[in-house]
Amino acid sequence: MVTNNWWKTIDGVEIVDGLRVWDYNLDIAVVDVVGTKAYHANHPEYWDGWFEMKDPDGNRSSTMNGERMWVRHPTTGEKA
């Protein structure tokens, strides 16, 4: 995987496996970098910056890029 601006949230936090974020629906989600790497292992050159996500209970929930994640809530400042 390429490291570039895709590896930062809207509020500038480095995206790492297990990072808790607010998603674009303002729900809490957890970044699954390990799952993302496994999903794109056969063709990492085509990775488009979208991460696999899990809900707080560990269930797969969606995919998101860093432009759709905040560590701190955009209006309250609460940490995810």
- The Cα–Cα gap between 25 and 35 comes to 21
**Confidence (pLDDT) at 26:** 94
Strands (E) across 1-80 are located at 20-22, 28-32, 51-54, 60-64
Residues of the chain with pLDDT under 70: 1-4
Report how far apart, in Å, the C-alpha atoms of 63 and of each of 2, 9, 13, 24, 75 are.
18, 14, 18, 11, 23
What residues does each domain of the chain span? 5-68
**Confidence (pLDDT) at 57:** 96
Q: In angstroms, what is the C-alpha Rg of the chain?
A: 12
The reported pTM is: 0.85
